[in-house]
Amino acid sequence: MFKKQTVFLSLCFLTASNVLAGGLVTNSNQSASFLRNPARDAVIDIDGVYTNPAGISFMSLGFHLGFTLQHPEQERNITTTFPTLAQNINHLGESTHKFHGKASAPIVPSFQAAYVWERWTAMASFAFSGGGGKCEFDNGIGSIESIFSLLPSVAQMNKIPAKAYSLNSFMKGRQYYLGIQMGAGYKINDRLAVSAGLRAIIGTATYTGYVKDIALHAADGTKLPQAYLSPIMQAMGDPSGTGEIDMTTDQSCIGWTPVVGIDWRINDHWNIAAKYEFRTKMALKNNSTMNDFARSQPTLDKFNDRKNEKIRDDIPTTITFGAQYSPISTVRINGGFHFYDDCNTVKYNNEEELIDHGTVEFLLGAEWDATKWLTVSGGWQNTSYGLSVEYMQDMSFNCSSNMLAIGVRLKASEKISVDLGYMHNFYKDKTVETTVNAAGMELAKKDVYERTNAVFAIGVNMDF
């Protein structure tokens, strides 16, 4: 008879963390212009279809088109310290393990178009307006391995001569919110314009993970027979005795975001603008393929279509303000403020209650027309998340950051220009320390969350 110790194999396959700029599930990086100067909230340009839709009314009459291709390179690393990780056969004696997650996309496209009449403006855009992006952990994540690392201790309590463990673990998450926006603007007079639009959000996500090839090892490294492991795993709730987890879940839904804006050209030097995006209900429908042991795990309920047909992951209300000051015709200085009301969304298992305050961003930027065909620009963005310690988990974490951007606009002709931009995020590491009561032991656990992010972009703008 095997004792069922105070340890459970409750594994965490959680939402991929945000890979883009903006709030928790909001992306404000939708053009190459943003990468060369992120303070776009009061800029009058074609990318304003997203950043300043009311300002489109002040563009020249006719048709305007913008197209961008971006290439992001990102990493997310979690360094986990947990005493029993030292029992990993491949890292004996090492209680600190680094779990490396990498995400990259060859191309991320976006598109904006507008037609300007004397008073009215029609506009449309296509871009990835939110979601968590994607991340892949080839060696799994610490929250999973920490639990399996307890197996030798449980085995020893049951007179099994196990001193180490081994496993094969993998985790991948992908979440994208594709936005298709239509809108209209109206120029009240030569100084004031307003806009209204509607963005359709097509949400898709896929989560894949497994834990397999679980084994116990003797002090000399010899792999112990499966007969030693099976009774322990059966006592933990897996009739097969293998302890293997296998899961793939697809999620999808459609949401709708109303957007309103206003732009006031105070004089030839000052322009200010504001935008309000309403909260978007996102109820993602689960379609899961899971083995029985995976379906029995409470922390996998979020991805289990038999327990949750749909899960909520709303996009928050977003408020932006911007100002542009042009002391001379060839220089523009920009400032902006963003607020994402994350606390007043609806998320699975009331996760919004673990957020201390909504995401806040401050932005500064400047542009200089060095010549008739060359504009040089740069900018800064500070992003502050209000996430509690309880919110931070392996695949559901964000780190506050400072972002620097630089780039140029090359004017090929009177009708065509090319944007080249680069941005780099400097993230603040987040350390979370907890105590785990398991297998009759009280164990200290520490996780250090790190991120890197760099994005290159090229954009083409055309006026007709």
Residue type, 183: G
* Band of residue 20 on the pLDDT scale cut at 50, 70, 90: very low
In-domain check, residue 23? no
Looking up residue 263, the CATH number of its domain turns out to be 2.40.160.60
Specify the pLDDT at position 25. 62
Only one residue has tokens 């105590």, namely 435
DSSP characters over 248-282: EEEEEEEEEEEEEEEEEE-SSSEEEEEEEE--B--
Region 94-118: what's the mean pLDDT?
Answer: 90
| Structural domain containing residue 396 | 32-463
Specify the pLDDT at position 70. 93
Reading the block at residue 434, the tokens are 């907890």
Give backbone dihedrals phi and psi of 222, rounded to 5 degrees, phi first: -65, 135
* Band of residue 282 on the pLDDT scale cut at 50, 70, 90: very high
* Band of residue 395 on the pLDDT scale cut at 50, 70, 90: low
In-domain check, residue 18? no
In-domain check, residue 317? yes
Q: Which of 5-9, 130-134, 225-229, 287-291 has the lowest mean pLDDT?
A: 5-9
pTM of the model: 0.88
Highest-scoring range by mean pLDDT, 54-58, 173-177, 426-430? 54-58
**Number of structural domains found in the chain:** 1
* Band of residue 112 on the pLDDT scale cut at 50, 70, 90: very high
In-domain check, residue 7? no
Q: Which of 248-252, 317-321, 393-397 has the lowest mean pLDDT?
A: 393-397
Helix and strand totals (H; E) in the chain = 6, 18
Only one residue has tokens 């913008």, namely 66
In-domain check, residue 106? yes
In-domain check, residue 434? yes
CB of 91 closer than 8 Å to CB of 82:
no
Nearest to 56 by CA among 67, 44, 66, 65: 44
In-domain check, residue 21? no
In-domain check, residue 6? no
CB of 166 closer than 8 Å to CB of 88:
yes
